[in-house]
Structure 1
Amino acid sequence: MADESSAAAAAAAPTAKPQAEEVDYTLNNPDVLTKYKDAAVIAHKVLEAVSKLAVDGATILSLCQAGDKMLDEETAKVHKGKKISKGIAFPTTVSPNDILTPYTPLSTDAGEAGITVSNGDVLKIQLGAQIDGFPAIVSDTIVVGEESNESNDLILATHYCNEALLRLMIPADIHPSNTPEKPYKVPSSYEITEKLKKIAAAYGCTLVESTTSFVFARNEIEGKKRLVILPGEGIPKSEGTPEVGEAWGVELSLSKGGGKVKEVPGKRATLHRKTDTKFSLKRDSSRATLNEVIKKFGTFPFGLRQLDDERTAKAGILECVRSNLFRQFEVLGDKDGAATSRLFTTIAITKNGITKLAAPPAPDFEKITSDKKIEDESILELLALPLRAESKASKKKKKKTAKKEDAE
């Protein structure tokens, strides 16, 4: 009887549910890296298209709208049939000349909607795509029409500073110069800043204060780790260092002025991002805006023009910002009114080194020339450092080519 009672009790007891397998969302999961790369392909394609559209007379609004339309269309084409989020990780923004931060005007603001670009303008174009929450964001600085000596210096300085910064971010354990006899020491943010200052100065440029790079994660473009170049007053300092297995969004900005920033008068903040703050909203327009943002963008940045009704969004956003539900990106510019540049590179750090996932194209060195150059030997050695260790397949291919050339 006792055995029968025990059996009956066991049969009546609820069956324990099998635990869901925990998904690895780091770069150790090949599927994660694939999604980053797929998003990067889209970001590159759209950046190239928007850059070509940036001609004399084009409106900034039309460039932003074209970029976002392409981002939506291209992300819809990949990973079909899978229940994953896809879309814009960073809306298309175009910041002209002294405007430094990402800028995207509204169609309902007649004055800003009609702003056009002209030959000689220095434009910072930034955008990004995401697949399953894994973002690839990229920014490039281009000149509309013919370049000038001043813009050439700015573009070259920014390119070389960016290349140096990436090399200064290589973790110690995979750094090419790291040996048991002489372990490599990762430079501090101060040491990184000083190196970059030298490069910028060689071309008559300055670093922009408080330019910040963040570690990336799924649905997160501003992780806990950050690298701050030339931190300004009241700005959080660098925290943590890059490690193998991480993705980072690396930002770099230079100026032909003093590198100090200020709010641009008359420019509405139209770029926002949802925070983790919880708050009960009172207005219907505010609740509608919050719900639409959560559904469409999650925690990724968005422009007010991307919402269904700009006018409702402009009203609803106010309470959301006051309640700290949304953080708004102020429109900042160079304090001296000088031309500025910005590059943004999404990188993956693996045991083989740093891979540029989404990166601005290198300048056309035949067209963009300067009478200035870098002469510091330590900087030149840094720039010559490979970002990645050469793979066995690549070494094998080089040997074959060398043998073939010797035979010929």
Structure 2
Amino acid sequence: MSAMVDDDDISLPSDDELEEETTEVAEEEEVARDLSSTEVVTKYLEASRITNLALETLIPHIVAGAKILDLIKIGEALITKSLDKIYNKKVNGKPVLKGMAFPVCLSVNEKICNYTPLASEAPEDGLVAGDMVKIDLGCHIDGYIAVAAHTVCVSSQGTTPELPGPSAGTVCAAAHNAMLVAAATIKAGNTNAQVTTALDKVCEAYGVKCISNVRMHQMKHFVIDGPKEIALRAPNVDEGEERVETCTFEENEVYCVDIAMSTGEGKGREGTDRTTVYKRNVDQTYKLRMKASHYLLKAVTDNFPTMPFSLRMVSDERQAKMGVKECVDHNLLSAYPVFNERDGVFVAHYKCTVLLMPGGTRRVTGLGLPEYFTTDKVLDEENRKMLEEIREKEEKKRKKAEAKKKKKKKAAGK
């Protein structure tokens, strides 16, 4: 069982303190780029705070009638505005880079992930009560990345959502609990195979399947898809699924715990929706021929040199659409396709960021499971005990935070 570090163990500094720490770090000849540096930890925590805030702000707007593109703009505006408030002093004459680490995606019903439409192609119709919406987003500060995903059910404004079927509650409870189990299992000394085995038990207990082509990744400085991977389930080599090399987790590493589950076959397929999310392959070069391709590559190099982005974020959408194929064909850009399950299948997606601190694993992003996602399924004993320990710790943390808030309020009233 992994030791989960209390959120109060490391307090977030004020904006002034953040700027002072940034200046002090600039004076050092060598700067640690992992969690052994308190400055790096602080940046991860700040990015995580903003990522969670974006989810919390966006969720109340996901109601019947709301349009997907409008919701995406709300999330991205919140992240941009929050980042604008911190780390604004230059370091060695250069600004601290910060921004989206993953564009806001809203994937509805059978769509699993990566749906963030262009302005010219966004659905005109609003969401409908009972729709299952997967939110996926992230940001970074100085290349230190925090990502999260969350699943909600659309309700009429001011009402409790009515689930489209009991299986919807089951798959969401399964995916959320699987995220907690995986986060607790990712600790120094354990292997990725142990995480996959734990997830197999969750799927068996709930009668659902992990999406086979989703992977969890290590994250590093300016790298969202790091070298160490974790498979959600054992690959079926006969069907062309690639094996994941066994790896051991180490202290001071950071991981994205990415869980997608369905009540169907657990196979993500590319649908008819346009792929709009891409990432620059920084180690690849090619002499492009098309003017539109040159335009797109320059826009990416200037604005999204290392992180995933959406073509929607490029100023000239027409040029971006024209130039993207040549860039992808010559491996200058990697695509994040919109994956779908079969129609009528319920899909859940939850994601969090974990830091492998010296004192244990710390989950820094991700929200709690909405109360309306209920199920009569029961986890296996080992994972059930693990979840009980996690929830007990989180309850203690919540009470500690409330007591601290009351004490602070009382002191301010004197």
Within 2, Cα distance between the matches of 1:267 and 1:91? 16
Alignment-derived partner of residue 48 in structure 1: 56
Corresponding position of 1:247: 254
Q: Is the 8 A contact 1:353 1:387 kept in 2?
A: no
Measure how far apart 1:239 and its partner are.
Answer: 4.3
1:278 is matched with which residue? 285
1:165 aligns with 2:173: no
1:125 touches 1:140 (CA, 8 Å); kept in 2? yes
Partner-residue secondary structure (3-state), 1:100 = strand
Question: Hey, what's the Cα distance between the residues in 2 that align with 1:54 and 1:70?
Answer: 15
* CA pair 194-389 structure 1, distance change in 2 beyond 3 A: same
What secondary structure is seen at the aligned counterpart in 2 of 1:81?
Answer: coil
Aligned to 1:380: 384
Which residue is 1:299 aligned to? 306
Which residue number corresponds to residue 358 of structure 2? 351
Distance 2:74 2:323 in 1: 25
Cross-structure match for 1:58: 66
Structure 2, unaligned stretches of length 5 or more? Answer: 1-26, 156-160, 401-414
Distance 1:238 1:220 in 2: 19
Kept after mapping to 2: 8 A contact 1:353/1:388: no
Counterpart secondary structure, 2:264: coil
Structure 1 counterpart of 2:230, one-letter code: L
Q: Distance in 2 between matches of 1:270 and 1:381?
A: 41
Q: How many residues align?
A: 355
Measured in 2, the distance between the counterparts of 1:309 and 1:323 equals 21
Deviation at 1:197, TM superposition (A): 2.6
- Aligned-pair distance for 1:386? 5.0
State the one-letter code of the partner of 2:378: K
CA distance in 1, matches of 2:192, 2:309: 33
1:120 is matched with: 130
1:204 to 204, 207, 213: 207
Deviation per CA, 1:103-122, whole angstroms, max 9, x where unpaired? Answer: 1011122xx43253211111
For residues 2-401 of structure 1, the aligned pairs below 5 Å read 21-82=29-90, 83-109=95-121, 112-145=122-155, 146-148=161-163, 149-172=166-189, 186=190, 189=193, 191-230=194-233, 231-232=235-236, 233-264=240-271, 266-275=272-281, 276-335=283-342, 337-359=344-366, 361-365=367-371, 367-374=372-379, 376-385=380-389
Which whole-Å CA distance do the structure 2 matches of 1:194 and 1:170 have between them?
Answer: 15
Q: 1:20 to 1:285 in 2, by over 3 A?
A: farther
8 A contact 2:296–2:324 mirrored in 1? yes
- SS in structure 2 at match of 1:291: helix
Tell me the distance in 2 between the aligned counterparts of 1:241 and 1:343. Answer: 23
Q: Deviations over 1:18-43 (max 9, x none)?
A: x9822211110100110111111111
AA in 2 matched with 1:195: A
Q: In the superposition, relative to structure 1, how do residues 188 and 330 fare at CA in structure 2: closer, same or farther (>3 Å)?
A: closer
Q: Is the CA contact 2:285–2:332 (under 8 Å) kept in the aligned structure 1? A: yes
Native 8 Å contact 1:167 1:387 kept in 2 = no
Letter in 2 for 1:197: D
Q: CA deviation at 1:193?
A: 2.9
Partner of 2:113, secondary structure, is: coil
* Cα distance in 2 for residues equivalent to 1:52 and 1:260: 30
TM-score by length of 2: 0.80
Q: CA RMSD in A?
A: 2.4
Which amino acid is 2:200 matched to?
K
Q: Distance in 2 between matches of 1:371 and 1:383?
A: 16
Conservation of the 8 A alpha-carbon contact between 1:355 and 1:388:
no
Alignment check: 8 A CA contact 2:213 2:268 kept: no
Q: Decide whether aligned partners of structure 1 residues 315 and 331 sit closer, same or farther in structure 2, where only a CA change above 3 A counts.
A: same
1:188-213: CA deviation from partner (whole Å, max 9, x where unpaired): 52x53343233223333221113211
**Larger RCO, structure (CA 8 Å, separation 6 or more):** 2
Residue 121 to residue 308, structure 1, CA distance change in 2 (3 Å): same
User: Paired residue for 1:4?
Assistant: none
Mapped partners of 2:73, 2:390: distance in 1 = 38
- Compared with structure 1, are the counterparts of its residues 55 and 123 closer, same or farther at alpha carbon in structure 2 (3 Å cutoff)? same
Secondary structure at the aligned position of 2:53 is classed as: helix
Aligned equivalent of 1:6: none
Maintained 8 Å contact 1:106/1:113:
no
Task: Tell me if the contact between 2:195 and 2:230 (Cα under 8 Å) persists in the aligned partners.
Answer: no
Question: Which aligned runs of 4 or more in structure 1 are off by greater than 3 angstroms?
Answer: 384-390
**Contact 2:88 2:96 (C-alpha < 8 Å) held by counterparts:** no
Change (3 A) 1:363 1:287: same
Shift of 1:388: 12
Task: Give the 3-state SS of the residue equivalent to 2:41 in structure 1.
Answer: helix
- 2:59 match: secondary structure: helix
User: Cα gap change, 1:147/1:353 in structure 2, threshold over 3 Å: closer, same or farther?
Assistant: farther
In 1: Cα distance, 2:162 partner to 2:265 partner:
22
> 1:368 is aligned with what amino acid?
F
Q: Partner letter of residue 369 of structure 1? A: T
Unaligned runs of 5+ in 1: 1-18, 173-185, 398-408
